[in-house]
C-alpha cells in the first residue's frame, strides 16, 4: 500500500477505475471466447450432420438406381454396392477436406470398418439410446485434438437383405465374406447397425474462432485504451 499512500485522491480514483475497467475487459474476453467456442462446436456438429446426411442419401440413391436399372450386384460390381459407394465417396471427400469420414460398426463385416477406441465407446452410447440423432466429443488422435461425431445408421427393412438372415444375402456377399465369420447379420428393424463417423482436426475449426476472438479483443482493447487515455 506504500504505493497508494502518497498519491492524491484523484490518482487513487483513477487507479481504481483502471482496475475495474481491466477486470471488465478480462471478464468480457473470457465470456467472448466461451461464446465463440460454443458457436464453433455448433458449426462443427452441423458440418458433420451434413456429411452424415449425404452418406445416407448417396446409399439410398444408388440403391434405387440399381433397382430401377435392374443392375444385379456381383463380385465384379462390389464397388457399386450402395453401402460401399457411400463409404468410399465419404473417404474421398474427407481426404479433400482434411477430415476423416468412415462408416463403422462394432459388428463389422469388413475389418476396414472396425471402430477405434473412441468410436467403440460412442457406438455403445448410440446403441443404448437409438433416439439420439448423433453424439460428439472432443478427443485426441496421435496427440492432436480432434472433433469427433457419430451419426447412427438404423436398420430398415431394405438393409436386412444383407444384414438379416445370411440365407437371404446375395451369393457374392457369401463369397467375399464367409457368413460363419461375418458378424454383420441377424439385425432387426430399428437396431443401430453402425454409424457414420466424422473426425475434424480442431486446428481446422479453431483457425476462424481464434481470428474472430483476436479482432474482438483488439477492438475492445482499443476502446479500453481510449477510455483510459480520456
Ligand atoms: C446389397 C447388400 C447390402 C445392403 C442392402 C446393405 N448393406 Fe450394409 N454392408 C454391405 C457390405 C458389402 C458391407 C461391407 C462394406 C465394405 O466393404 O466396406 C456393408 C457394411 C455396412 C456397414 C459398415 C460396417 C461393416 O459391417 O463393415 C454398415 C454400418 C452398414 N453396412 C449399414 C447398412 C445399413 C444401415 C443398410 C440399410 C439402410 C445396409 N447396410 C444395407 C452390404 C449391404
Q: Assess whether the C-beta atom of 46 lies below 6 angstroms from ligand 1.
A: no
Q: Which of 83, 87, 194 should be mutated for ligand 1, with most atoms under 8 A from CB? A: 83
Separation of alpha carbons 223 and 230, rounded Å: 10
- If we measure between CA atoms, which residue out of 170, 151, 218 comes closest to residue 71? 170
- From residue 190, give the alpha-carbon distance in Å to each of 45, 127, 134, 159, 217: 24, 10, 15, 11, 49
Residue range 55-72, pLDDT digits in tens: 999 999 999 999 999 999
- Cα 192 to middle of ligand 1, angstroms: 12
109 lines ligand 1 (CB under 6 A): yes
Cell, residue 225:
485504451
CB atoms within 10 A of CB 209: 19
Residue keyed to cell 437396431:
191
Give 154 Cα–ligand 1 centroid separation in angstroms: 11
Closest CA to 199 of 133, 132, 111, 104: 104
- Atom 24 of ligand 1, residue of closest alpha carbon: 108
- 87 ligand 1 Cβ < 6 A: yes
Find the 172 Cα to ligand 1 centroid distance in Å: 13
Q: Cβ(60) to ligand 1 under 6 A?
A: no
Which atom, in ligand 1's list, is nearest to the CA of 87?
Answer: 18
Report CA(219)–ligand 1 centroid distance (Å).
52
100 within 8 A of 198, measured Cβ to Cβ? yes
Q: Per-block average pLDDT, block size 10, for the chain (230 residues)? A: 71 88 90 90 95 95 95 95 95 94 96 96 94 94 93 94 95 94 95 96 86 85 80
Q: Residue 112: its pLDDT value, please?
A: 95
Neighbours of 52 (CB within 10 A): 24
Specify the pLDDT at position 136.
Answer: 97
Q: pLDDT for 114-141, tens place per residue?
A: 999 999 999 999 999 989 999 999 999 8
CB-ligand 1 contact for 163 (6 Å cutoff): yes
Question: Quick one: cell of 121?
Answer: 465407446
- Which of 148, 141, 138, 130 is CA-nearest to residue 197? 148
Amino acid at each position: 500500500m506504500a504505493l497508494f499512500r502518497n498519491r492524491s485522491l484523484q490518482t487513487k480514483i483513477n487507479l481504481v477505475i483502471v482496475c475495474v475497467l481491466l477486470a471488465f475487459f478480462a471478464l468480457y474476453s473470457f465470456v467472448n471466447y466461451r461464446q465463440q467456442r460454443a458457436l464453433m462446436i455448433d458449426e462443427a456438429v452441423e458440418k458433420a450432420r451434413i456429411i452424415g446426411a449425404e452418406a445416407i442419401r448417396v446409399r439410398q440413391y444408388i440403391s434405387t438406381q440399381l433397382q430401377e436399372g435392374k443392375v444385379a450386384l456381383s463380385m465384379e460390381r462390389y464397388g457399386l454396392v450402395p453401402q460401399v459407394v457411400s463409404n468410399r465417396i465419404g473417404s474421398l471427400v474427407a481426404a479433400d477436406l482434411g477430415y476423416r469420414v468412415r462408416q463403422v460398426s462394432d459388428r463389422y463385416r469388413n475389418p476396414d470398418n472396425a471402430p477405434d477406441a473412441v468410436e467403440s465407446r460412442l457406438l455403445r452410447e448410440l446403441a443404448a439410446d437409438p433416439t439420439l440423432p448423433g453424439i460428439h466429443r472432443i478427443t485426441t488422435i496421435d496427440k492432436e485434438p480432434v472433433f469427433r461425431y457419430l451419426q447412427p445408421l438404423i436398420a430398415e427393412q431394405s438393409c436386412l437383405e444383407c444384414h438379416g438372415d445370411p440365407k437371404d444375402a446375395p451369393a457374392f456377399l457369401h463369397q467375399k465374406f464367409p457368413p460363419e465369420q461375418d458378424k454383420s447379420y441377424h439385425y432387426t428393424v430399428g437396431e443401430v447397425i453402425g454409424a457414420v463417423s466424422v473426425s475434424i482436426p480442431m486446428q481446422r475449426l479453431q483457425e476462424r474462432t481464434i481470428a474472430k476472438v483476436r479482432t474482438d479483443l483488439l477492438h475492445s482493447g482499443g476502446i479500453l485504451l481510449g477510455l483510459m487515455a480520456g
